[in-house]
Structure 1
Amino acid sequence: MDAVQQRIDAMVKANRVMLFMKGSAQFPMCGFSGRAVQILKACGVQNFETFNVLEDPDVRQGIKDYAQWPTIPQLYVNGEFVGGSDIMMEMYESGELQQLLTQ
């Protein structure tokens, strides 16, 4: 595991809810990232960590390799990859995401 992968792994493991996104929770820089933040808030999650991939090109590419997932945003809960905004929306609509977040 290279240095970028180690940094990503440390962030994922250090935060119960970790969202790699474009922009910040306060100022999302793409519609998908904004939707991911809104879904988390709709689930009642107030405290979650975000990382703005636009500020670090190494992490922007590295996170895609880390999860073997081509798009951003990416949500991790309890160290496990959940998915991007489409998967988050599907899980939210089914109630699965709320369950995962309250465990």
Structure 2
Amino acid sequence: MTDDTQARIQQLVDSNEVLLFMKGSPLFPQCGFSSRAIAILNHLGAEFESVDVLQDQGIRQGIKEFSDWPTIPQLYVKGEFVGGSDIMMEMYESGELAQLLAKDAAA
């Protein structure tokens, strides 16, 4: 992966409080995991931006190296990697994700 791709990913993560790297768009998720991630964020009323990794092969590969996480979707909150859809689901069910998002909205 190029430094340029890393820099682009870092810039995206830094400039969006809540950012989801996903397959497809929030209106048309292209995989079940991305769909579940969107459903969780929407249910929590989170304001978020998304990046469709299917539109950019560099980002699609680069994000996996950036986070050292092998799968997509990937959620970032306040520049911190949160996890994929399984982790999001666990955090949603425990109330942790709502707290994380609420804390950031208030900050």
> What TM-score bracket applies, with the shorter chain setting the length?
over 0.9
Q: Which residue of 1 aligns with 2:96?
A: 96
Rounded to whole Å, the distance in 2 between the matches of 1:30 and 1:63 is: 17
The residue type equivalent to 1:32 in the other structure is F
Runs of 4+ in 1 over 3 A off after TM superposition: none
For structure 2, which runs of at least 5 residues remain unmatched after alignment?
none
Q: Which residue of 2 aligns with 1:52?
A: 52
Percent identity for Structure 1 against Structure 2 = 64
SS at match of 1:13: helix
In the TM superposition, residue 78 of structure 1 has moved relative to its aligned partner by 0.4
TM-score of the pair, normalised by structure 2: 0.93
Rounded to whole Å, the distance in 1 between the matches of 2:15 and 2:78 is: 9
Rounded to whole Å, the distance in 1 between the matches of 2:16 and 2:56 is: 19
Rounded to whole Å, the distance in 2 between the matches of 1:59 and 1:49 is: 15
Is it true that 1:9 corresponds to 2:10 in the alignment? yes
Instruction: Note the alpha carbon deviations across 1:14-47, whole angstroms, 9 max, x for none.
Output: 00000000000011000000000000011111x2
In the TM superposition, residue 96 of structure 1 has moved relative to its aligned partner by 0.2
SS at match of 1:25: coil
Between Structure 1 and Structure 2, how many residues are aligned?
Answer: 102
Q: How do 1:61-76 and structure 2 match up within 5 A?
A: 61-76=61-76
SS at match of 1:61: helix
Q: Which residue of 1 aligns with 2:43?
A: 42
Rounded to whole Å, the distance in 2 between the matches of 1:98 and 1:48 is: 13
For structure 1, which runs of at least 5 residues remain unmatched after alignment?
none
Q: How do 1:13-28 and structure 2 match up within 5 A?
A: 13-28=14-29
The residue type equivalent to 1:88 in the other structure is M
